[in-house]
Structure 1
Amino acid sequence: MFAKEDCLLVVIDMQEKLCKVMKNLDRTVKNIRLLIEAAHEFNMPVIYTEQYPKGLGETIEPLKSLLVDYSAERFDKMSFSALKIDEINNRIKQTGKKTIILTGIESHICVLSTAVDLKAEGYNVVVAKDATTSREDEFYQTAMDFYNSEGIAVVPAETLVFYWLEFAGTDSFKKLQKIILGKAHRISVV
């Protein structure tokens, strides 16, 4: 289910105004960064969305620079589910990937709506538990409970990365281990 050659990473709405009010933002950003780095290491496609960027701002740093540097594809949306936007839906289909790894915000709104629609389309949906968050812990936990009840996989970002790595001691392992063991990148969202 997690085979790296069959995965697409999706980063949902990690935008300036939204991030200001999120719980566990440092943890979420650190783990999204880890997944972006791993996706790049394994030539996995990455797309990211921005919900009404005119009003909610752009994707926060350091994620934006990393996504741009690694040629991730950016999509605007107004819908809560990314799949409601034909351009995004078509791009996901064009990748030919069957497993979609979801990260971003909010766990109980845009991530959840996207997960439900992806599952309905027949994709294997994986939510990186520590690479998503919400404004309230209760909302986050309710979303995690929902995913589990609907057969949507919920796993830590590290689980995915180590599964993709397969072996310790490789160059990829050494590169990604530095991110895993490093201090969380502090984010200043004012």
Structure 2
Amino acid sequence: MNQQQPLKLINAIILLCDMQERFRTKIFHFEHVEKMAEKMLKASNKLGLPILSTEQNPKALGGTVQGLTELLPPERKPLPKSQFSMLVPEIRADIASLEPRKHVAILGIEAHICVLQTSLDLLRQGFHVHVLADAVSSCNPEERAFAFQSIREAGGTITTTESFLYRVLADANHPQAKDIFAIVKEYSTATRDALGALCAT
């Protein structure tokens, strides 16, 4: 992994992985992942962070949750894929166009399949990977721990939505700081619930 570039607002990208409505009843605490994704998309839009997203086989499995789709930039709607890694040619091209951004935050589903394979692909290519644990889940919750262990061993970071946002914000005097503080406050209860459901030891 590239160790030279510190995490800053100007060098980060957000990847939203396969947050499709069809998975709502299958994924462990999908509702918490959805709320944390909502928080991240709102904050990323305020901060000007690029957001890239995918859908797994949408012809069969349907599209992204409507509330999240509405928060995605109109020029970057979800891209369809059949492979498990998000790094389809279109996403690779988008990431390349965003150079020199080398930090990638990943949220969505499933932890042990698409999130894991995307993370490993990015790490092999020299990116810093930040997996947002309160915004990632699987059908079986036990899969998360094994996926996170594999990502850590490969050089990735497991963090949370709030921690990542404050790291890229960096300074309370940032022009968008008040906007981010307001979003964090708006989702404070949802964040606590997500951490309790998904990250409690």
Taking structure 2 as the reference length, the TM-score comes to 0.83
Q: CA deviation at 1:182?
A: 4.7
Identity score, percent: 27
Matched with 1:91 is 94
Equivalent-residue separation in structure 1 for 2:16 and 2:143 (angstroms): 19
Matched with 1:106 is 110
Matched with 1:187 is none
Matched with 2:58 is 53
Q: 2:82 aligns with which of 59, 78, 98?
A: 78
Q: 1:180 aligns with which of 178, 183, 187?
A: 187
Q: Counterpart amino acid of 1:91? A: D
Q: CA deviation at 1:168?
A: 4.5
Deviations 1:29-50 (A, max 9, x none): 1211111112111111101101
Q: 2:16 aligns with which of 11, 22, 44?
A: 11
Q: Secondary structure at the match of 2:28?
A: coil
Q: CA deviation at 1:175?
A: 2.5
Count of aligned pairs between the two proteins: 183
Contact 1:127 1:152 in 2 (8 A): yes
Contact 1:51 1:77 in 2 (8 A): yes
Q: Counterpart amino acid of 2:20? A: Q
Q: Secondary structure at the match of 2:92?
A: helix
Q: Secondary structure at the match of 2:111?
A: coil
Deviations 1:106-146 (A, max 9, x none): 00001111111111111111111111100011111111121
- Is 31-40 or 128-137 further displaced after alignment? 31-40
Q: Which runs of 5+ in 2 are unaligned?
A: 1-5, 192-201
Equivalent-residue separation in structure 1 for 2:159 and 2:46 (angstroms): 20
Q: 2:72 aligns with which of 56, 67, 72?
A: 67
Contact 1:158 1:180 in 2 (8 A): no
Equivalent-residue separation in structure 1 for 2:149 and 2:139 (angstroms): 16
Matched with 2:198 is none
Q: Counterpart amino acid of 1:64? A: T
Equivalent-residue separation in structure 2 for 1:47 and 1:179 (angstroms): 24
Q: Does 1:149 align with 2:153?
A: yes
Matched with 2:194 is none
Q: CA deviation at 1:56?
A: 0.6
